[in-house]
Structure 1
Amino acid sequence: MQQDPNFAEAYYRLGLAHLEKEEYGPGYGNLKKAAELDQENLDARIRVAELYFSQGLRENEFEVAEAEIADILERDPDNPRLYLLRAKVASAKGSYAQQRGEDEADEKTAQEFYEEAIADVQKSLELDPENVEAYVLLGQIYLTREQFDEAQQAFDKALSLDPQDVSALVSQASLAFRTQDFERAEQLYQTALEKEPENTQALVGMGELYLAQEAYAEAIEVASKMLEALPEREGQSGREELSARFILGRAYLLQGIQAEEHDQDAATAFYQKTKAELEPVVAAIPNLVGAQYSLGLANLKLGNPQQAIEQFQQVLAVNPDHIPALFNLAMTYFQEQQYEASIEYAQEVIARDPEHVKAHELLNSAYLQVGNIDKAQEEMAILEQLEPELPTLHMNKAMMFLRAQDYPQALAEAEKAREAGQESAGVYNILGRAYAGLNEYDKAIEFLQQAIDLNPEFFSARLGLGDIYLITEQYEQAEAEANAVLAMQPDTAEAHLILGLAAKGKQQLGAAETELEKAVLIKPDFAEAQYQLGLVQRALEKTADAIRSLERAVELRPDHLPSLVTLTMWTFEVGDYRKTITYGQQALDLNPQHGMTHNILAVVYARIGEYDTALTHVEAIQKVQPDSPNIPLTRGIIYLGQREFDKAIEASERAKAALPNNPIPYDTLGRAYTAQRQFDKAREAFTTALDLRADYLPAILGLGNLYSIQGQYFQAFQQYQQALEIRENTAEAYIGIAGVYKAVGRDAQALARFEQALAIQPRSQVALFNAVDLSLQFHRDDDALTYAGRLVEDVPRNTSAKYLLAQAYAAKSEWGQAIAELEDLLRQEENYQPAILDMGLALLADENFAQARTQFETLLRLNEADTTAMIGAAVTAQEAGAEAEAVRLCEQALTRQPENPLFHFVLGNILIGQGEYERARQAFQNAGAFYAALSLDDATIAAYYGTEPDATAIMLNLGGVFLARGWMTKAIAIYTDVSLSQSVRESPLVRYTLAEAYSRQGENAQAAETLEALLAAYPDLTVVYKDLGEIYQVQEEVDNAIDAYQKYLTAYPDDAAARLQLGLAFESAEMYQEALAEYQQVLAQLPNSAVAKNQVAWLYADRGEQLDEALRLAQEAAVAQPVAGIIDTVGWVYYKRGDYDQALQKFQQATELSPLQPTIRYHLGLAYAEQGQAELAVQELQNALRI
C-alpha cells in the first residue's frame, strides 16, 4: 500500500485481517477504501453495506445501505447475501413502524415491510438453501408477527442444519418463552450461554424468564452481568443495554412492591432504582409500553403524580386499551383530588372491563367527592352485585349518606360497618361527622376523638373536630387541632382555613387574611377558603381584592349562593353594573325568591335605563315583601331615569325615612335636585350619602357632575379621580373627566378619556357622541366612523347620531354612504338644516351639481341668511355657466359677512372664469394676505389657470368650499388630481391651498414640503414664510421656524404678531436675549401689547433679572388682560422676588380662573412649600401630576 496507495486488493486483505482480530474500526475503514477503489470487489462492498445497515439501526436511517444493496444487485442479481441483507433492512423498518404504532397506517406499513422481508429471505434461500442465518431471520419475522408454527418450522430447520448455532438457539428459546413453555426456554437459553457466555440476547431472554417466574434477584443478576459484558460506548445506548436496563427496572419495581408490606424504606429505595434504570429506556424508546407503565408506577409510589400521569398517558397513546394504565390514571387523579378526571378514566376501565371491581369502587368514591349522590348509589348497587361481601360496602354507603347530608342513614351504615368488624378510625370519623351534622356536638367530639386515638395522624378527624370547635366558638381548641395537622402535614389547606376562621372569630382580621391566603395558595381550587378570604378582605376594606376572591369562589362553585349574592351586592356598590346583573341573575336562577337580589337588580336596571326590566324586579319584591322599604327606593331611581324628578324626590324621601342609613335614596335625591338646578339641595344630599358611606361611588360621581355643571371644574375633576381610585374601570368617571377637559379646551385629553370610557362601556352614548365629534376634529376618520356606526346601531332614530355618521362618511370621502345617511335623516326630519347643507355639499363632492343646487335652494327657503348655502349655490351656478347668478349669490353672502376671505376667494375665481380680471383682482385683495401678495396680472392669471380657466376656477372653488367645511380629504384629492395640468397643479394658488389642507389635516410634513416647493418656484412670495414658520413651530423645528419668520419679517417688518411668534421661537431655542429683543420691538410697535409684556416679564422672572421691571410689565399685562396665564406670571415674579404671600395670592387667583392648568398648580405648590405648608404643597404638586 505504501508503494501503491490505490492497490484495492491490499486494502481488502488488510480490512479482513482487522476484522479477524475484532478491530472493527480499521477493518471496515479499509474495506470501504477497497470498495471505493474497486467497484467489482463485491465481498468488500457487501461487507460495507452490512456496516451501513448496522449504523442505520441506531437512527432508523437505511437509505445509504439500501442504495448500496441496490447498486450491487445490478452487478450480481443472484447473490443470496444481498437478498438476506435487504430482508434485514425491511424487517428492521417493519419493527420501527410497529413500535411507533401511532395510527392504522403505521401498522399497515409494518406488515408491508415484513412481507417484503419474507420475500427476500425466501429468495436468498432459493439461491442458498443451506443458509442457517436466513432460516433464523425468517423465524424471527414470523415470531414478531405471532405466526408461531411458521417460526417453529424455520428455527427447527436452522438447528437441523447447525445444532450449535447460538442465534438459532436463542430464537428458539424466545419462541418457547412467548408460548409460555418456560422450562424449554430456560434449557435453550442455558445451552446458548454455555456456547457464548456473554451472548446478550440469551442474557436478556433469561432475565425476562426470571421476571416471569418472579425470580427477581436472578433477573437482576443476569441483567447486571449483561451490562458488564457490553462494551463502553459514547452517545446513545444500544439495544442490548436498553434491554438490560428494562429488565433491571422491572425487577426493582416488583421487588419494591414486595417490600412495601414490611419495609417502606427499602421499597422506596427499589422504586428509586426503578426510576434510574427506566428513564434512559423511555428516553430512547418512548413508545415502549412496558417501560412507560413501569416508570409510571414507580413515580406514583415515589409521590410524583404528575410524572406518573405523563407516563400512563404515554402508554395510552400507544395502546388506548391498556387497562392497568387507565386504572392507575384514574387512581392518580383521585389522589390529586381531580375527581372529574378520575371519573373519566374509571369509566374508560369499566367500558373495557364491566366487572372491574376496583374501578367501580373508585368511581363510587369519586362520585361521592363531587356530590353526585345518584351516580354513587348506582355504583354501590353494581358493587353489591359483583362482590356482595366487599368489606368496604357499608363504609362507602355511610360516606355516601354523609355526603348527601342524610345523617341518620350515615350513622346506621357506619354502625353496620362496626358490627362487621370494621373498628377503624374511618368509621369513627364518619360517626363523628354525622353527629356533628345532627348538631349533637358532644357525641361528635367523642367519636372524632376515638378516631384520633386509633390513628393520631388521621387528618380528616382532626379537621372535623376543628370545625366543631369553630361552630361552638372554642377558637383555641380549633387552632390546636389545625396546628396538630400542620405539624404532620404543613401544606394542608383545610387546616389553614380553620386557623383563618378562628382568627376571624377572634376579630384578628390580619391574621385571618394571612391564613386564608395560605389555604388558597396551597389549594387554589378551594372554594370555601376563597369565599371566606373575600369576606375578611372586605372587612379589611380591600374591596377589589374581596371581589376577586369571591369571583374565584364562584368559578370553582357556580352554585354557591352566598358568593353570588355577596358579589351582586359588592359589584353594585362599586358601580360595576354589568357584573351586578350577571351575578344577580345567577343568584336568582338558584333562588328566584331572593328579595335582596331582586332589589339590587331593580336599581341597576333603572340606572341603565331599562325601566321595564327594573319594574319586573320591583313586582317580584312586592310578591315576596309587600311592605319592603326597597320598593320606594327603587321606584325613585326609575322615576329619575324617566326624568320625572318630582316623583323621584317624593319616592326617595319615603325611602329615606324607611332606610335612613342607606346612601341610595340620598344619591337619587342629589341627582334629581341637580337636574332641577337646585344645587344647594343636591350638594347636601350627595354629602349626606357620602357621610353614610365615604366610598359610595354613585354619590361621588353625582357630586362630580354637580360641580361640573356649576363650572367648578377642578372640584369635579377631584371627584372623578376619587371615583377611579375606588374602582379603576369606572366609565362614568372617565366620561366626567373628559367633559371637564373638553370644557377647558383640552380636546386631545378629552378624546383619550372618552375612549377609555368606551373601552369599559363600548355602548355609552355620551362617550360615543363626544368621541365621534372629537375624532372628526382630529381627523381620525376611521375611528369616527366606528363610533358613529355603533351609535346608529344603538339609537337608529336619533337624528344627531345619523348626522354624525354622515359626517364621518364625508370625512372619508365615502359620498354614496354619506348621501344615503343624510337622505335617511331628512326623510325622518325634512327641515334639519345642517343635514340639508351637508347634503348639498356631499352632492357637490359627488359631482351632482343640479341636485346640490336644489338642496342649497331648499335651505335658503328655510333660512335666507345662510351664507354657506349661498356660496354652495354660487359654485353650482358657476358650474352651470350662470356666472351672473353666481356673482349675485357671492355678493349677497358678502353683504352679510363682508370680511369673509372664502367668499372673496370664490367670487374672485368666478370672475376669472368670466374673464373679468380687474374685478377678480379686487376680490383676491380681500381673500387673505397670500392672495393680496400675488401678482395677478393677465399673464400670470393665464399661467395659473391654464388653458381651461373656467374649469380651473371651479376646481379651486370646490376645493376651497370643502376646505372651509373641514373635508380635507376631498380638498386634497381635488388639488392633487393627476388630471390637472402641470402648470395648474404647480401654481401658487393650488400649492398654497393644498398646503393649508395638509396642515388642517395634521399632515404638517406634507404641508411644509408643499410650501417649500412653492417658495422654490416663487421666491418673491415672502408672505408664505409666515405660514411656513407656523408649521415649523407645530413640528417643533425651532431653527427652521426662526429662519422662516426672519425671512418673512424682512419683507413685512411691521407684522407684530409674526414678530411675537419669532420671539416665542427664540424662547423655545433657549435664545433668551434674542427673544427679549423681539418682544421689545413688539412693544415699540404695540406699547399696550399684554402678551408681549407678559413674555418679557416671564423671561426676566425666570432668569431672576430686572424683577422690578418684570413686576411692572406683568401687572400692566394683568390689568389689560386678567387671564390665568398672565396672573400666573405676576405670581411667578413675586415668587422670584421672595414675596411668597403675594405669590400665593396670585397663584390662587390663577387657579380659580384656570383650575386644570398643571403649571399654575405646580407654582402654587412651590409657594406653599416656601411658606412651610408641606401638606398643601404636596397636594398641589400631586394635583399638577394628575391633571
Structure 2
Amino acid sequence: MKLMPVVLVVLLFVSAFAVCKAKANTVENSYENAATAFAENKVNDAFIFVKKALQENPEHLPSKLLISKVFFDAGNLLAVEEELYEALELGADINLVLPVLGSTLIIQKKSQELLELAKYQMQFNRQSQFEWALLMGQVELLNNNKYKAQIEFEKALTILPANSRSLNSLALLYMEFGWQQKAKDLIEQSLNINPNNEKTLVLKGELLLAENKSDLALALFEQAFVIDPKDPKILRNLAFLNLRLNNYSQVKKYTELILAQSPLDPAATLISAWRMMLDDNDKELAKQSLAELSSALSLLDEHNLSKDKLTSFIQGASEYLQGNNEKARQYLFSHLNTFPGDKSALRMLLEIHGNDDMTSKLITLLESNTKNIVGDLYLGTKLVQLYLSEHKILRAESLLNQITENFPQHSFVIYLKATIARMRNNPNQALAILNKHTFSEIPPLYFLLLKGELQLELNNLKSAGETATLVLANQSKNIDAYNFIAAVNIKSNQLVKAMLNIEKVLELDHKNITAMFNKAIVLKARNKNSEFKSIINQILLDNPEHTTSLLLLARHELSLGNTKQVIAHTNTVLLYDLKNKYAVELQFAAYTQDKNTRSALIVAKELIKIDRLNPIYIVASIQLQIELEQYQQVERNINILYGLWSNESDKLLYLSELQTKAKLYKNAVKTLNRAKELTPESLSIELALANNYLRLNDDGKVIKAFSHIERQFGQSAELYLLKGDMAVSHDNSSEAFQYYEQSMELKPSNPQAIIKLYQLSKQGVENHKFTEILEILLLDASTPDWVRKILADSYLVQNELAKAQHHYEVLLTRDDLVSEPSILNNLANIYAQDNLDKALLTAKKGLELGSKNPLLLDTIGWLLTKQKQYDEALSFLRDAFTMNASSPTIRYHLGFTLNELGRSKEAIKELNASLANGDDFSEYEEAKLLLELLKSN
C-alpha cells in the first residue's frame, strides 16, 4: 500500500480541523444573530437564524432553548415541549427550562406531566422555587382545590415578596373567594412595584367592574391595551365591556383583532355573531358562525341503547342462550326491576356480568335481596366474591359470617375465608384456615390450588411440591393442575420442567392465559426479553384487562429504567383495578427512581389509603414530606408509627431520627425516653437524646446528658462530635475544632468529623493544622480518595497551589477519577496562573472524556477570553449558562466577554444578574466595577 506523504497528512488534518471550526462558527454566528433578532422582537428573523443553527448542530443547547421561546410566542406548544424535554436530556439547567415548560404544560392542563418535573426540585434556585410555587398553585386550581392553591400562591409570595406575578395570582384567587378588600390591597402593592404591569391593570379593572364602575374599568383596560395590544384577555375584556356599554364600533374593532390572532376564539365568535344579528342581512351568517362554534366545542356522547319495557325473563334467557350477552343483560336487569327476588334471573345475570359498572349494579341488586341470599350458597358466595372484586373486604367478611351460620363446614366458605385473610396480606393466617379443614376425600381443586399458591407465596416449596403431586395424582390432564405445577417449577428454578408443563397446557388450550403468562416468566428468567415481551403483548392483545401481565411488563420496564412505560402500564392496571397495591407500589418505585419527590409522595399517600397501618408506606411518606419540608404534615404519620412501634426500642430510635429530621425535637425526646425505658443501657439512645436537647438549645440537659454518657459508656467519637456541635452553636470555633479532632483520633477517616473540620478550616479556623491531619491520614494507603480530594480542595482554598496541584494530579491517576470534572477544572485554574495553553488543554480533556460539565465549559470560555478569543469563548460560556443559569461567576464571564465584543447592553444585563444575589462569589468586586463603568458611559 502506498504511503501518504506526511505533508499531505498534515494538510488534510489542518483542513478537517478548519472545516469543523468553521462549522462551529456557523452555529454560533446563527445563534448570536437569532438572539439579537429575538431581543429586538424580530421573531421571524430569530426563527430563521435559530433553525439554521439547529440544522448545523441539532444538540446546540442555547439554540434549543431559544427556539422553544419562539415556538411559545407562536403558540406551538407541542413543539415547545419537544424542544425543552430534549434540552433537559442534553443537560440544560432546569432553572432555564422551568418557566417556559411549566407554562406550556399548565396551558395544556397537563398536571401530571408538570408534577413529574418535581424530580428536579433539589436543583431549583430561588427564582425557580418561586416559579414552582406559582405552577403548583395553578395545578391546584385545575383540580378545583382553591384553598390549596391559596397556600401555594402565598408560599410564592414569601419566596419573592416584591413580585407582581405572585401578588396578581393571589389577588385573582382572593377575588374568586369574594375577598375584595384583600384583593384590592394586593393589587395596589403590585402597582406600587410596577405601575405599568398590564396584568395588574386588568385585575384592577375587573375589580372595578365588580363594583359597577364600568367607565373606570374601561380606562384601565385601554391602558393595558396600549402596553400589550396582543394580549387575548385584554382584548376580550375590551370587547365584552364595550358590548355592555353599547360601543358597537369598538366591539367590532376588538373582536376583529381577536379573530385575526385566533380565528376560532369562542368569545370573539359569539360577540361577532351577536353583532351581525343586529343587521337583518347578516342573520344567516350569524347562525352559521354560531353553529360552527357549537360543533367545535361539543362532545359526542354515545347514544344510549333503547330498552324495551316489555322485557321478560324468557326474552333474557333466549338472548343468553344465543350468546347475545349484552342484550341478555339489558332484558334481565329490566326483568329484575319488576321481579327483584327472581333467583333464576339473578343466577343467569351472575353468569354473564361483565364490566365494573355491571358489578356495582349486581351488588345493588343482590343487596336488596340479602335476606334471601344468605340462605342460598351460590348467590351468597357470589355476592361475597363481588365484594372482594371491589375490595370491599369488611362487607364481604360480614356477609360470609352470616353464610357460615348456614354452611359452617362447606369447603367453598372455608376457601373464601382464607381468600379474605390473603387479601389482608396475611398469607400465614390464610394457610392456617385451610389446614384446619379436613376432608374425608380428596379436597376440591380450587381448595388445593389456593393452598398451593399460599405455600408458594410463603416460600414453602416442599409443601407446595407435595400439594402439586396431590393435584396431579387426582386431576389427570387438568389445565389448572398443570399451570400450578409449572408455577411450583418456576419458583424452584426448575425452568426446563416448568416449560414442559406449560407446553402440556398449551397443547390442550393454545391461548390459555395462565400458561402463556408462565411461559413469559420463564423466557424473562432466561433473558429472552424480546420473546418475553412478544408473549405478554399477545396476552394483552386478546385480554387488555389482564393486570398480572401489565404488572410483569411494568416491572420489566422498571428494571430497564423506562419509568414512563412503568407509569403507563400501571395506569392501565388501575383503570381495571383502582386499588391494586402492586401497581401503586410500582408507580412509587418509578417516581422514586426519577427523583420525582412530589409525585412519589402523592402515590405514597395512595398506598396508605390501601393499607393504612403499613409501616413501610408510612415511613416512605414521612421521608418524602421531610424532603419537601412539609413538616406540619409529618406529625400525624409519626404518631401512627409511634402507636405501632411503642414496644420496640430499635424502631423507636429510628422513629426519633425521622422526628429530628422533621424538626420535631420535643416529640423525638418523648420517643427516645420510651425507647430508654425498653432498653436502659443504649449508647445510641443516649447520644440521640443529647442531640435533640442540643437542637432545643437546652444547655443544662445537654451537659447533664454528656456527663451521663461519659460515666456510663466512657469517651466515644460520636460524643466528641456532639461536643463539637455544641461549641459551634456557641460560636466557639477553636473548641469545636479540638472536639472534632478528638473524634477523629478515636475513629480515623471519620467522614462526619473530617467534613466538619473542613467546614471550619474554610472559615480560617486552624486550616494549616487541618491539612496536616489529612496528610498524616494519607500515609495509610487504605485511606479513601475522597480524603485526598478534600485535602486538595483545602490547599486550593488556602492558595497553596503547588500542594493542591500535586494531590489533584495523584487523583487523576485513579481509573474512576480520570475524567472527574471538578478535579480537571481546579487543575486547569491552577495551570492558568502561568500557562494558559496547558490550562486550556486540561479543561478540554474533560470534554473529550465525556464530561460536559458547566464548570469546565465556563473555565474553557474564560481562558479563551483571557486569550482574547472572544467569539469562541462566548460559545463555551453560552453552553455553561444553559447548564447552570444560577452561577454568578458564569454570568460575570458572559458579561465581560459580551462587553469585549462591543455588546454592552447584553453585558449590562448579565452583570446585573451576576450581582443580584449578593457578594457570594470571588469576582464580585470585578463584576461590580465593570457594571459601574458601563453604566457611566
Task: Give the TM-score, by structure 2 length.
Answer: 0.39
**Structure with larger RCO (C-alpha < 8 A, sep 6+):** 2
Task: Give the TM-score, by structure 1 length.
Answer: 0.32
